[in-house]
Amino acid sequence: MTDPAEAPFVFDPPSRPAAWYLLAPSSALPRGRVLTRRIGQDEVVLFRAESGNVGALAPHCWHMGAHLGNGCVTGEHLQCPLHHWAWDREGVPGQIPGGGRAPASARQPGYAVAERLGGVWVWMGDGPPGPVPGFETFADDELLTSHGRPVRLRCAWYAPAANGFDEQHLSTVHGRALRERPQVDVPEPGRMRMRYLSRVTGTGLADRVMKRLSGDHIRVQINCWSGATVTVESDLGRTRSALLLAFVPVGGEVEVTPVFTTRRGGPPGMARLRLAVARFLFTRFIEKDVQVMQGMRFRPRLPLRGNEALETFLRWASALPGERTPHSSTTP
């Protein structure tokens, strides 16, 4: 009999990890707006009530199944388009037309919602929500944020998530070399972190700008939050930067939204200029990943010699809680 401890590792991450998902920039959801977002096999209907609070409800009305994405906001409620029952952010019905009362069992299922870093986040998972993704070395109110356009990748969510921990691709794809071995740890459940010091070996315009800005010492820390978000914080000596990449599984593919940031302050217009530079540099960096990941069928062959951080990530991702559908298995 095989000792279970010696059983070969099978990479089998959830198709949709239990996590906070960035579903929209806050600016896309002004008061009174209703938005439908797809995630995994499901849809979520977001709405911003007149008070400014955001709700996230399951799409099909408890009463008879009309799609609430076609509804409208009335005060603190989302009103169903069909018989005008109105649901609050907790899924509790208000008054119903004709003055009647909804039965006590009437509840529209919903999700926990948070707003952070200029975005609307929704918790999709059975357990209690974990911490909403953010940065370790910046306070939120220090930062000006800009949400980029989502990019659809024809691969599973774990391909771009694993990319952040793939030390070998730093030289082959990004023109960077490590100055020392990366450090990997799990600072809290549901968060995996890698820290390293790199130098620039690439020769493109963005590489030369980075080399100049950093004195060729780029200290990076990457966090993956429950599989659905990766944050990248770089210390370039004279300046620091922070980027967030949010993943939303859609079918067997993934939508990646970059959130660019810069520190507030300085002379008028300076922060906007810095944000434009950060956006340029990070976009060049990410474009390289997008090119190589399109169409990828992520199928790691272990052991990954010389890429131990990635192997640690794969084991961590494989143990994440969440929804598992046939998409999640590694096809031989």
What is the contact surface with ligand FES in residues (CB under 6 A)?
Answer: 61, 63-66, 80, 82-83, 85
274 binds, among Fe ion, ligand FES, none (CB under 5 to 8 A by kind): none
Q: Scan residues 251-310 and list those touching Fe ion (CB under 5 A).
A: 289
CB of 65 to ligand FES, least distance (A): 6
Q: How far apart are CA 296 and CA 85, in angstroms?
A: 45
CB of 81 to ligand FES, least distance (A): 7
163 binds, among Fe ion, ligand FES, none (CB under 5 to 8 A by kind): Fe ion
Dihedral angle of Cα 168, 170, 172, 174, to the nearest 10 degrees: 170
**How many angstroms separate the Cα of 97 from the Cα of each of 48, 82, 107?**
22, 11, 17
Dihedral angle of Cα 25, 28, 32, 34, to the nearest 10 degrees: -90
Matching residue, tokens 């060049």? 284
Tokens of 310: 């990635």
CB of 57 to ligand FES, least distance (A): 11
Q: How far apart are CA 167 and CA 170, in angstroms?
A: 5
CB of 302 to Fe ion, least distance (A): 20
Cβ atoms of 116 and 104 within 8 Å: the answer is no
CB of 165 to Fe ion, least distance (A): 10
Phi, psi of 76 (to 5 degrees): -100, 10
103 binds, among Fe ion, ligand FES, none (CB under 5 to 8 A by kind): none
Q: Does 163 engage in binding with Fe ion (CB under 5 A)?
A: yes
289 binds, among ligand FES, Fe ion, none (CB under 5 to 8 A by kind): Fe ion
One-letter amino acid of 58:
A
- DSSP string for 9-48: P-----SEESEEEEEEEGGGS-TT-EEEEEEBTEEEEEEE
CB of 168 to Fe ion, least distance (A): 11
54 binds, among ligand FES, Fe ion, none (CB under 5 to 8 A by kind): none
32 binds, among ligand FES, Fe ion, none (CB under 5 to 8 A by kind): none
In the complex with ligand FES, which residue's Cβ is closer, 83 or 297? 83
Q: Does 233 engage in binding with Fe ion (CB under 5 A)?
A: no
Which residues of this chain interact with Fe ion, rule CB under 5 A?
163, 289
